[in-house]
Amino acid sequence: MPPRSRREEYSEASRRALIDSARVRFAAQGFGATSLDDIAADARLTKGAVYHHFANKQSLFEAVLAELEGGTVAAIIEASTRASVNGASAWEAALAGLDAFLDRCLDPVYQRICFLEGPLALGFMRWWEMGEHNEIGLIKGLLADLRRVGLIELDDVDMLTRLVFGSLIAAALDIARSASPAQTRDRVRDVVARMIFGLRPTLDHTGIPRVQI
């Protein structure tokens, strides 16, 4: 790969500065109260530089949201993979991924941008589609692993994936609006785990339940 030119490096640095500034502003003030002039000033760039990289404020918000969601997906994969490498069962690895997601939901920046401001900034359908794009494949993979090793007994993994995705979005919204986010996070974790646990085969060949929550 040829080395990048100074112009390319400057362009990348400018885009990075705009996303960082926008994330801070959107988290502190919300989408509606944030102006592109404010974001440009915080990044020490001109408003023209904003339009060089982004069509409008909404497209800049999408870039911020996509980066936050990408970080969450990476955290889930890392937690689940680490659990597996350390000898955890498929069930324990899935719970590790769930815990990573719920822990991210305690982050005020992630809460506000991804779940409180997202539907307002993008409209419900676009916001939902972005969530599906980032997370549906990951959820399906975790559920398919559970089915493969016999820990859930359901053929329609596609529908299960969509329903679990919807449940997790509702959980994240509940945490974001809660006066006691950490307590709500623990309650959510218990309910979601029990929902999926309920899909297991009742007994294995020994007559003992296969997994414990």
Q: Does one domain contain both 150 and 197? A: yes
The pLDDT of residue 185: 97
Place of tokens 């640095």: 13
The pLDDT of residue 172: 96
What tokens appear for 166 in the block?
Answer: 């919807």
Quickly state the pLDDT bin for 209 (edges 50, 70, 90). Answer: very low
The pLDDT of residue 104: 97
Average pLDDT, the chain: 91
Q: Tell me the per-residue pLDDT of 14-62, one tens digit each, with 9 for 90 and over.
A: 999 999 999 999 999 999 999 999 999 999 999 999 999 999 999 999 9
What tokens appear for 91 in the block?
Answer: 């069930």
Q: Does one domain contain both 133 and 191? A: yes
Place of tokens 């959510």: 188
Is 140 buried (19+), middle (13-18) or exposed (0-12) by CB count in 10 A?
A: middle
What is the number of structural domains in the chain? 2
Q: Tell me which residue range forms the domain holding 184.
A: 56-213
Cα gap 97→82, rounded to integer Å: 10
Q: Which amino acid is at 201?
A: P
Quickly state the pLDDT bin for 101 (edges 50, 70, 90). Answer: very high
The distance in angstroms from the start CA to the end CA of the chain is: 49
Residue 190 belongs to a domain with what CATH number?
Answer: 1.10.357.10
Q: What integer is the mean pLDDT of 95-118?
A: 96
> What Rg do the C-alpha atoms of the chain give, in angstroms?
20
Q: Does one domain contain both 23 and 91? A: no
Q: Does one domain contain both 49 and 61? A: no
Q: Tell me the per-residue pLDDT of 108-151, one tens digit each, with 9 for 90 and over.
A: 999 999 999 999 999 999 999 999 998 999 999 999 999 998 88
The pLDDT of residue 202: 66
Residue 14 belongs to a domain with what CATH number?
Answer: 1.10.10.60
Q: Name the percent of the chain lying above pLDDT 70.
A: 92
Q: Does one domain contain both 38 and 65? A: no
